[in-house]
Amino acid sequence: MTSQKIISIIEARRNSTTIPNRNYNQAIDDILQDIYDAMQKELNGEMTELGERNYELIREGVRCEGSYDPNEIYFMFEERLYTHEAETIWNFLDWVHNGKKVKKYGRMISERAFGRGNYEERFQEFLNDREYQDSLIQDEQRYEDQHKK
């Protein structure tokens, strides 16, 4: 079943009033709203979690190259990414790589580095970094303006 089909079913259910118990209806409605929101984000190509699969792909690249620089590791797993995730993961790696550097284990690394225990937390920090997200939007607008000519 496609996401679009599930969304249409949820919309139809939300407009239905066949169950008389309001508390039950509210609980169902809340669950359906969460599913609907998640699927809309998926359809719009928005990631809300990095996911263990993507973490493992990134981890292997970092292990081989010793860097979060997407220019150095992205090619190692690019073809195994889902289309709607590719740009977000590139931007996430760029955000991690370009974070403030701290000396650790005798070398300078990004303070945004992550591992198995905190990869979802770090990804949420990335998604919530308004300054970085705004800069991506500005870059995209500049690119579009340059290519309209």
- The residue range of the domain holding 38 is 3-43
Is there a single domain that holds both residue 67 and residue 130? yes
Is there a single domain that holds both residue 84 and residue 34? no
Is there a single domain that holds both residue 33 and residue 65? no
At residue 1 the predicted structure's pLDDT band, cuts being 50, 70 and 90, is very low
Q: How far apart are CA 54 and CA 80, in angstroms?
A: 9
Is there a single domain that holds both residue 76 and residue 132? yes
Is there a single domain that holds both residue 140 and residue 81? yes
Is there a single domain that holds both residue 63 and residue 109? yes
The model's pTM is 0.65
Count how many domains the chain has.
2
pLDDT in tens, 38-93: 677 666 667 888 999 999 999 999 999 989 999 999 999 999 998 888 999 999 99
Is there a single domain that holds both residue 104 and residue 75? yes
Single-letter amino acid, residue 57: L
Is there a single domain that holds both residue 69 and residue 10? no
Tell me the percentage of the chain whose pLDDT exceeds 90.
33
At residue 116 the predicted structure's pLDDT band, cuts being 50, 70 and 90, is very high
Tell me: pLDDT of 96 over 60.
yes
Is there a single domain that holds both residue 59 and residue 129? yes
- For the purposes of burial, counting CB atoms within 10 Å of the CB of 126, is it exposed (0-12), middle (13-18) or buried (19 or more)? buried
Tell me: pLDDT of 21 over 60.
no
Is there a single domain that holds both residue 71 and residue 131? yes
Q: Would you state the structure tokens that stand for residue 85, as one six-digit string? A: 């995730």
Q: Which has the closest alpha carbon to 14: 37, 32, 2?
A: 32
Q: Which has the closest alpha carbon to 133: 97, 94, 102, 100?
A: 94
Is there a single domain that holds both residue 19 and residue 92? no
Q: State the chain's mean pLDDT as an integer.
A: 82
Which pLDDT belongs to residue 5? 62
Is there a single domain that holds both residue 106 and residue 137? yes
- Say how many C-beta atoms besides its own lie within 10 A of residue 89's C-beta: 21
**Are residues 122 and 112 in contact, defined by beta-carbon separation less than 8 angstroms?**
yes
Point out which residues pair with 109 in neighbouring strands.
102
